Amino acid sequence: MEHALDILMRDTKYKLLFRWDRAHCTEMGFNDGNEDHIFFVKELRKLWEKKDPSLPWEVGEYDESNTLLVENYPHRALLNPPHTTIFPYPYDWNTEDNALGPEGDLRIYLERLAASQNVQKFVSENPFDQHLVHASENHPEISTEVYLKFFHKYSYKRKAGDSMDAQRKNSLEPKVNSSSPLAAQTSLEPETSTVTALVGQPLSEPDLSNTGLGAQTSTEPQTNAGTTTDYQQDWPFIKQSLIWATIDSLVSCLTPPQKPHFSPLKNTKELHREGLAIAHMLTCYNLVRSLPNIKLNDPVDIINDNLEVLVDLEAHGFDVDLIRCRLNELLSLKSKAGQHEDTLKELEKRSYEKLVIEKETDQLKVEMEKMQEKMMQAETMQKVKEEEIARLQSNLHPDFTQINDWELAFGKLAATPL
């Protein structure tokens, strides 16, 4: 890892305060069915409260106002306050991009954030997410079942988390000034490893040679369960889960905006309602994010399954008209492409059959040429035989008197005594 950091950060490596490896993550205690794929989350609270005594900063030095987590996988930020994480696309070495290069979208975003006074407020007002433009084929999707497992495991930690927030606020007021270093976190995460960096840098000289930065100022603490908007007042449950803050942040980036009513959940057990609502929110988010990943040669069942999911989402108040329209357009194009492909296959079949017939015709022509040659030879031999017969016949013209003389001489000779 040291060698990788030397390449990535070069002369700015001295600004690296912390490497966020698996040892500092919170394991979720379950997997996706593969024992080697244990899910884990990154809790910013562990850094802010300095759970690891070896971290090179004081408790309260960093908080929501001056920390940004750059993470490829949204589920790893589920326990963090809203608007403290952005989710760019995973790096794909097969795809050319300039996200961090001059005029790169991520670089421009981070430069603007570095000039802001409050990270959380800036991200709230300027969401940066994986929109319907491009997606990596290697980006794994987390199933609804996994999110439900996570919800049941962590949804009742809110009181403990709020208590810790209150204690930290009362006993450790953050002391910040314009000369304090900025805190930033970025996920330098290839498929084989997970590393997150905490970087310090002066506000007056934002440096983007690494992928993390932040601004430092105070802000009011926010509840991890998120806020309840007007349309959410009519939901058949009360928002209590820690996950809502992150979900609200993720779903706020969707187009079109979503304001589900979850009325059908009134027919389910009250204890299940919030978990099912979370599952529907994540299903909608994952479905929208999966649209750019659909390929022309993918099975048509993928689109049909998504259309079936939209029926359930629509029943719960999600605005799916635009999504359904997009899926139907994809389905129509896929159908046309399928018809064109069928025509190409039929053309290929006919071309092959024509090639076979041409080969048979050529073979018959060769055989006919051989037969014609044999016929000419036979006709030549026939003429030769006819000439021989004619010659022989021309030698057979004795008169009948000579034949009688031969018969008498033969008889006489035969009767003469020896």
DSSP-assigned states of every residue in 179-240: TSPP--EEE---TT---EEEE---TTS---SSS------------TT----TGGGGSSS---
Tracing tokens 């961090």 back to the chain, one arrives at 100
Higher pLDDT, 176 or 368: 368
The mean-pLDDT minimum among 142-151, 237-246, 367-376, 384-393 falls in 142-151
* Cβ 60 vs Cβ 174: under 8 Å: yes
Q: What percent of the chain has pLDDT over 70?
A: 72
Higher pLDDT, 9 or 328: 328
**Average pLDDT of the segment spanning 292-309:** 92
Inform me whether the pLDDT recorded for 397 exceeds 70. no
- Residue 30 confidence (pLDDT): 66
Number of C-beta neighbours around residue 39 at 10 A: 21
- Residue 152 confidence (pLDDT): 56
Inform me whether the pLDDT recorded for 46 exceeds 80. yes
Inform me whether the pLDDT recorded for 247 exceeds 90. no
Q: How confident is the model at residue 213 (pLDDT cuts 50, 70, 90)?
A: very low
Phi first, then psi, for residue 282 (nearest 5°) are -70, -35
The mean-pLDDT minimum among 43-52, 217-226, 244-253, 319-328 falls in 217-226
The amino acid present at 101, given as its one-letter code, is G
Tracing tokens 């802010």 back to the chain, one arrives at 48
Q: In terms of DSSP bridges, do strands 85-86 and 69-70 run parallel, antiparallel, or are they unpaired?
A: parallel
Inform me whether the pLDDT recorded for 173 exceeds 70. no
The mean-pLDDT minimum among 98-102, 227-231, 235-239 falls in 227-231
* Cβ 250 vs Cβ 74: under 8 Å: yes
**Average pLDDT of the segment spanning 402-410:** 84
Question: What does the alpha-carbon distance between residue 115 and residue 138 come to, in Å, rounded to a whole number?
Answer: 33
Higher pLDDT, 343 or 162: 343
Q: Which of 296, 325, 295 is nearest to 310 (CA)?
A: 325
Inform me whether the pLDDT recorded for 189 exceeds 80. no
Higher pLDDT, 75 or 119: 119
Q: How confident is the model at residue 383 (pLDDT cuts 50, 70, 90)?
A: very high
Q: How confident is the model at residue 303 (pLDDT cuts 50, 70, 90)?
A: very high
* Largest pairwise CA distance in the chain: 168
The mean-pLDDT minimum among 12-16, 230-234, 321-325, 328-332 falls in 230-234
**Average pLDDT of the segment spanning 239-261:** 86
Which residues pair with residue 198 across a beta bridge? 18, 185
Q: In terms of DSSP bridges, do strands 38-41 and 26-31 run parallel, antiparallel, or are they unpaired?
A: antiparallel
Looking at the chain, the number of H-run helices and the number of E-run strands are 11, 7
Across 86-100, 221-235, 288-302, the highest mean pLDDT is recorded for 288-302
Q: Is the dihedral of CA 178, 205, 124, 152 positive or negative?
A: negative
- Residue 214 confidence (pLDDT): 35
The mean-pLDDT minimum among 92-96, 138-142, 269-273, 303-307 falls in 138-142
- Residue 15 confidence (pLDDT): 80
Q: Which two tokens stand for residue 412?
A: 């006489």
Inform me whether the pLDDT recorded for 134 exceeds 50. no
- Residue 71 confidence (pLDDT): 86
Number of C-beta neighbours around residue 396 at 10 A: 6
- Residue 365 confidence (pLDDT): 94
**pLDDT tens digits along 317-371:** 999 999 999 999 999 998 888 888 888 888 999 999 999 999 999 999 999 999 9
Inform me whether the pLDDT recorded for 204 exceeds 50. no
Number of C-beta neighbours around residue 189 at 10 A: 18
Q: Taking all residues of the chain, what is their mean pLDDT, rounded to a whole number? A: 76
The mean-pLDDT minimum among 16-30, 151-165, 279-293 falls in 151-165
- Residue 279 confidence (pLDDT): 92
Q: How confident is the model at residue 226 (pLDDT cuts 50, 70, 90)?
A: low
Inform me whether the pLDDT recorded for 256 exceeds 80. yes
**Average pLDDT of the segment spanning 50-79:** 87
